[in-house]
């Protein structure tokens, strides 16, 4: 789903972290072939769903690091809007066992300006998270058990914003169908990590570029809770697709949140040291 806010972390293969090698390209071709064949041949829906997820993940390998400015617009059921502005930095961690690192710094509204949120994503273990409160110069390690809670009052839950990771879900391919001008795989994924607010997610992934076009989220009572639609995709460094607009509509409350990305930069040279709790104190 949101490969984009906190990009994905599963690393099936360390050698893919740099330039694609001949072996990797060959493996990729084989896989594309396998998926293609899988469409026609007798893979189980679970196998096919997993292959699609792995291919989504593989296509995001090697992005190294990225930075973007985000504007979040929250709309309540009366149509009243409030805005948040934040800056997001992400670091790809080239290990299979751990996830990526991300740093979110708020710039607006002014009373939370400078507040920073550092997250080390894990696969099934709880994430490591720290919060920096600039008014008191305090770095707080916080609990990451709150996966299903709203992120800064928005319709995005914390678990929606962490990196996509193959091992976090089990999968089932449901069908192929048209999604706008494209054709999509429709897969069902079920969270395997603890404290999720969802029983399942139905994901529409386009067959050409394996981009998440739409997600339906089902709550703990298995009723449809909200829908995420991702549009205005742009390709960066000739490889990585990111949506410029993500819109979540909560179908139970009528609230909505729109997330707009701008000034996306890839491979800006961010390092592990830029993502440590002690460094939060010098961030603005």
Partner 1 sequence: MIRPGFHPGARFAAAALAVLLWLQAAPGEAASSNGSFEIGGSVAAELRVFPGDRSFDGQDRSTLSPSVVMAPEFVHEWDGGNERLTFIPFARVDAHDENRSHLDIREAHWLHAADSWDLTVGLGKVFWGVTESRHLVDIVNQTDAVESVDGEDKLGQPMVQLNWHTDWGSLGLFALPGFRERTFADDEARVRGSKPVRGADATYDSSSEAKHVDLAARWSHAIGDVDFALSHFHGTSREPTFSEAVRDGKDVFIPHYDQIDQSGLEVQLTKGAWLWKLETMTRSGHGDRFAAAVAGFEYTLYQVAETSADLGLLTEIHYDGRDSAAPATAANNDVFVGARLTLNNTSDTEMLVGAIIDRITQETFISVEGAHRLSDYWKAEAEVRWSANVPDNGFFAGAKNDDFVLLRAERFF
263 is a contact residue toward partner 1 (CB under 8 A):
no
78 is a contact residue toward partner 1 (CB under 8 A):
no
Instruction: Specify which residues 236 forms β-bridges with.
Output: 240
| Beta carbons of 124 and 193 less than 8 angstroms apart | yes
HSE, side-chain direction, 13 A CA sphere, residue 122: 12
3-state helix, strand, coil in the chain (%, to 5): 20, 40, 40
Please say which residue, 3 or 250, places its beta carbon nearer to partner 1. 250
Instruction: Specify which residues 273 forms β-bridges with.
Output: none
Given 137, 175, 262, 263, the residue binding partner 1 (CB under 8 A): 137
Given 153, 180, 234, 235, the residue binding partner 1 (CB under 8 A): 153
Query: Is residue 121 classed exposed, middle or buried when 0-12, 13-18 and 19+ CB atoms within 10 A define those classes?
Result: buried
Site for partner 1 in 161-220 (CB under 8 A): 195
109 is a contact residue toward partner 1 (CB under 8 A):
yes
The least CB distance from residue 26 to partner 1, in Å, is: 36
Please say which residue, 140 or 239, places its beta carbon nearer to partner 1. 140
Give the Cα separation of 162 and 129 in Å (integer): 11
Spell out the residues 6+ positions from residue 75 whose beta carbon is closer than 8 angstroms to its own. 81, 255, 256, 257, 258
Segment contacting partner 1 by CB under 8 A, of 2-10, 16-24, 244-252, 273-281: 273-281
Segment contacting partner 1 by CB under 8 A, of 2-10, 59-67, 230-238, 271-279: 271-279
Q: Where do contacts with partner 1 occur on this chain (CB under 8 A)? A: 74, 76, 82-83, 108-113, 126, 128, 136-138, 140-143, 145-146, 148-150, 152-153, 195, 271, 273, 276-279, 281-282, 284
């Amino acid at each position: 789903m949101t490969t984009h806010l906190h990009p994905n972390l599963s690393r099936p293969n360390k050698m893919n972290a740099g330039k694609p090698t001949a072996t990797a390209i060959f493996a990729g071709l084989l896989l594309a072939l396998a998926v293609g064949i899988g469409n026609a041949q007798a893979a189980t829906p679970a196998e096919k769903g997993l292959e699609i997820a792995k291919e989504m993940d593989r296509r995001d390998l090697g992005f190294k690091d990225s930075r973007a400015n985000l504007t979040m617009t929250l709309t309540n059921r009366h149509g009243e809007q409030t805005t948040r502005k934040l800056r997001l930095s992400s670091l790809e961690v080239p290990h299979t066992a751990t996830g990526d690192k991300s740093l979110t710094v708020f710039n607006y509204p002014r009373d939370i300006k400078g507040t920073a949120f550092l997250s080390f994503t894990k696969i099934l273990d709880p994430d490591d998270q720290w919060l920096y409160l600039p008014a008191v110069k305090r770095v707080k390690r916080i609990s990451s058990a709150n996966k299903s809670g709203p992120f800064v009052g928005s319709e995005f839950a914390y678990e929606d914003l962490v990196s996509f990771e193959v091992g976090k879900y089990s999968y089932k391919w449901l069908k192929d169908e048209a999604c706008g001008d494209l054709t999509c795989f429709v897969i069902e994924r079920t969270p395997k990590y603890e404290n999720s607010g969802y029983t399942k997610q139905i994901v529409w992934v386009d067959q050409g570029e394996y981009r998440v076009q739409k997600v339906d989220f089902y709550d703990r009572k298995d009723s449809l809770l909200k829908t995420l639609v991702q549009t205005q995709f742009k390709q960066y460094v000739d490889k990585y697709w990111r949506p410029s607009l993500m819109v979540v509509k909560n179908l139970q409350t009528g609230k909505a949140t729109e997330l707009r990305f701008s000034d996306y930069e890839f491979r800006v040279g961010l390092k592990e040291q830029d993502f440590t709790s002690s460094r939060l104190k010098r961030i603005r």
